Structure 1
Amino acid sequence: MPLAGAGDYRIAVVDPNRVVEQSPQYEAARDALQAEIEERERSLRGQQEQIAALQRQLEKDGPLMSESEIQRLQNDIRSRTRRLKYARDEFQEDFALRQNELRTKLGRQVQEVVVELAKENDIDLIISDGLVYSNPRIDISDLVIERLKEVFEKK
């Protein structure tokens, strides 16, 4: 057991970022999010291609079009461009929100597992962020990752 005694206290360290990033829960959620991102990116690319086609049409057919047709096409291009910008902004906000939700959810799971391991192994203090140095023998990150794998496999 990677623990160190400090007097009567048992101390361990955990790297929460490594634990989250190496957990199967994170990998599964990341893969699902990536699939969703790719689908939305395809949609945005399709909208961009439609705008480009309308711009090409305006350049090609503009000299043959009436002033009202040109105005209508320009308005359509501007409107689609605004909607595309809005959709991109919304996509970026959604992506950031989903990433934060994922990290928060996994952070809670990591916290629960760390507390379980601390109780099971009579650990008095577990330190995570802000470490300058820790001896690898007191790092319980691998134990936390293994427990998260067990939890993931039970689902």
Structure 2
Amino acid sequence: MLKSLIKSFTSLPSAALLAVCALSAAAPAHADDGSKIAFVSSERILREANPAKAAQSKIEAEFSKRDKELQDQAATLKAKADKLDKDSAVISDSERTKRQRELGDLDKDFQRKQREFREDLNQRRNEELAIVLERSTKAIKQIAEAEKYDMVFQEGGVYVSPRIDITDKVLKILNK
């Protein structure tokens, strides 16, 4: 469960997509003006950059104990439910009602802990993501200023020519 939640580390807003569409419509009118445009894949940065990998490992280590506790609690809950189903024919109505109530209380506690776990995990993932993106933005600015780019797009989901993709350069700086 933890790894699948952490894998969603790469989802980002797509406001830049609108800007790309708007500029691509205007691009032919300005094709020969000497403008220099580049693109950076946020998805690749968050998947391949050493700081992003370190953040994922840090989060996994930080939340692995709680994840294990939740898995154990789920197994206990299932075992008790199976035992109740098995014993249901031979126990009294009052005992069955008592066990069902206990099972319901355990399930509510499990659901609460699971929700808190997801909320805490999402908060920490967002904190770590912000740090990686801040470093990425600094690297992009460094490359843009050094190589005199007029505009750098940072988003995925549209066609981008490899000729203007500077993601490898950003990764190189981040992985130093």
TM-score range, shorter chain: 0.7 to 0.9
CA RMSD across the alignment: 2.9
Task: Indicate how the Cα distance of structure 1 residues 78 and 18 shifts in structure 2: closer, same or farther if over 3 A, else same.
Answer: same
- Alignment correspondent of 1:29: 55
Correspondences of 1:43-82 after superposition (within 5 Å): 43-55=69-81, 58=84, 59-60=86-87, 63=90, 67=94, 71-82=97-108
Whose relative contact order is higher, 1 or 2, with alpha carbons under 8 Å and at least 6 apart? 1
The reply to whether residue 120 of structure 1 matches residue 165 of structure 2 is no
TM-score (norm 2): 0.66
- Alignment correspondent of 1:15: 41
- Alignment correspondent of 1:129: 155
The alignment covers a number of residue pairs equal to 145
* Deviant stretches of 4+, over 6 Å: none
1:108-130 superposed Cα distances (whole Å, 9 cap, x missing partner): 21111111111222222212337
Q: Which of the residues 66, 91, 95 maps onto 2:117?
A: 91
Query: Which whole-Å CA distance do the structure 1 matches of 2:159 and 2:141 have between them?
Result: 22
Query: Which whole-Å CA distance do the structure 2 matches of 1:111 and 1:51 have between them?
Result: 46
TM-score (norm 1): 0.73
Shift of 1:132: 4.3
Aligned-pair identity (%) = 24
Task: Indicate how the Cα distance of structure 1 residues 120 and 145 shifts in structure 2: closer, same or farther if over 3 A, else same.
Answer: same
Gap regions ≥5 residues in structure 1: 151-155
Task: Indicate how the Cα distance of structure 1 residues 82 and 11 shifts in structure 2: closer, same or farther if over 3 A, else same.
Answer: same
Shift of 1:34: 2.6
